[in-house]
Amino acid sequence: MEPIIELQRKLLPDLVDVMQNRYRILQNVRFLQPIGRRSLATNLQQTERVLRAEVEFLNKQGLLNISTSGMTLTDEGNDILLELENVMKEVSGLHVLEERLREKLKLAEVIIVPGDSDRDQWVKTEMGKAAVNRLLPLLKSERTIAVTGGTTLAAVAEMMKPLPNRKRPLIVPARGGLGEHVENQANTICSTMAQKANGEYRLLHVPDQLSKESYQSLIEEPGVKDVLEQIRSAGIVIHGIGEATTMAERRNSSSIVFQEIEKQNAVAEAFGYYFDQDGTIVHKLKTVGLQLDDLTDDKTIFAVAGGSSKANAIAAYMKRGPRQILITDEGAANELL
């Protein structure tokens, strides 16, 4: 595939550009359908005049339907889009980008999806799909999956596929609730993912932050203790990476916490730990769920995070160790490099 693409770049560079543009149009329509031409032009940052010609071509090819309610993908358009995914990775140079980023961050594996989730919400869905596709082969041997919360992990849950009986996983929340929107909490994501996979799940009915006294009391409760044991025994962990101040706001943290993370120049958060740019832990919350010490070498650990604005947070957290599989987007990858 690569030699052909390189020949096209040299002999027909315009063809590659046209192919990438039409792929982006189909991709946007798939996630936003039904969508009008004006909205699509805004989303793609193109003029309506330029987009009109492309849309008419894709319609004539039987890949798009155009109606009064907006544009939608045809079955053939959806099939073409799926077949094009690996080709477009080669065309856009994402495979090269993946290897460069893997070497820079010294990780086990890096998977990059096109786009920037800061700009286009559907890119999170693409990251979710990439995470699920990478996860499925691992379910031959591993059964228990621990997941954290957040909008990106919610996208992973939505992309989960039905699994046969022999692969049905047990999915558990990696932590308690943050007090945020219920659809983005680990418990909700855990149950959604399990239902879509035809699997089982357990819930952790405790707040994410507790006082020392409450923490000691709760973790001795039989129901909580049992779920915590299952969480710690999970062979696969899927988590997000947050920006320090954003996560402090989501937790409704006190002014003392804000002052502390600002004073220590914290840039990233994961599992209740705050990290500076060097990956050093500068603040730790008393949270119920997975701790960094639980992320042992025998676990497969997925970090799913994207958006160019999260590059500093991703870089800081990834200094924790080489075992991670990072699933990110083009926006974050370019910023990281």
* Interval 114-134: pLDDT, tens: 889 998 888 899 999 999 999
* Whole-number pLDDT of residue 279: 92
- Residues 48-60 as b/e (b if ≥16 CB within 10 A, e otherwise) read eeebeebbeebee
Residue 3 pLDDT exceeds 70? no
Give the residue-averaged pLDDT of 196-211.
79
Share of the chain above pLDDT 70, in %: 89
Return the pLDDT at 214.
64
Question: 219 falls in which pLDDT band (50, 70, 90)?
Answer: low
Domain-terminating residue out of 66, 90, 114: 90
Residue 185, pLDDT score:
87
Q: What is the CATH number of the domain that holds 74?
A: 1.10.10.10
Same domain, 178 and 319: yes
Residue 6's domain spans which residues? 2-90
How far separated are the first and last CA of the chain, in Å rounded?
25
Percent with pLDDT over 90 in the chain: 44
| pLDDT of amino acid 101 | 95
pLDDT recorded at residue 81: 86
Assess whether 86 and 104 both reside in one domain: no
Domain edge (last residue) among 63, 90, 117: 90
Domain boundary among 90, 125, 144: 90
Residues 173 and 277 reside in one and the same domain: yes
- Rounded to whole angstroms, how far apart are CA atoms 299 and 154? 22
Both 159 and 298 in a single domain? yes
Alpha-carbon distance of 106 to 48, in angstroms, equals 43
Q: Number of folded domains in the chain? A: 2
Higher pLDDT, 234 or 321: 234
Pick from 46-50, 99-103, 309-313: least confident: 46-50
Taking only the tens place, the pLDDT of each residue in 58-99 is: 999 999 999 988 999 999 998 888 888 777 777 777 888 999
The reply to whether 69 and 137 lie within a common domain is no
pLDDT value of residue 167? 78
Query: Residue 6: pLDDT band by 50, 70, 90 thresholds?
Result: low
Residues 55, 81, single domain; the answer is yes
CA contacts within 13 A on the Cβ side of 37: 17
Q: Could you tell me if 151 and 234 lie in one domain?
A: yes
Average pLDDT on 203-218 reads: 67
Task: Indicate the range of 14-23, 42-51, 74-83, 213-222 predicted with least confidence.
Answer: 213-222
- CA 94/CA 23 separation, integer angstroms: 15
Residues 82, 50 within the same domain: yes
Instruction: Assess whether 113 and 86 both reside in one domain.
Output: no
What distances in angstroms separate CA 270 from CA 201, 226, 311, one per listed residue? 22, 23, 14
**CATH number reported for the structural domain that contains residue 302 in this entry:** 3.40.50.1360
Biggest alpha carbon distance in the chain?
A: 70
The pLDDT mean for the chain works out to: 86
DSSP 8-class letter at 324: P
Residues 74 and 159 in one domain: no
Average pLDDT (199-218) is 72
292 shares its domain with 313: yes
Q: Residue 61 contacts by C-beta under 8 Å, 6 or more apart in sequence?
A: none
Residue 56 phi/psi, 5° resolution?
-65, -40
| Pair (287, 316) in one structural domain | yes
pLDDT confidence of 14, banded at 50, 70, 90? confident
User: For residue 257, what pLDDT is reported?
Assistant: 83
Higher pLDDT, 281 or 42: 281
Q: What digits encode the pLDDT tens for the residues 245-271? A: 988 888 777 788 888 888 999 999 999
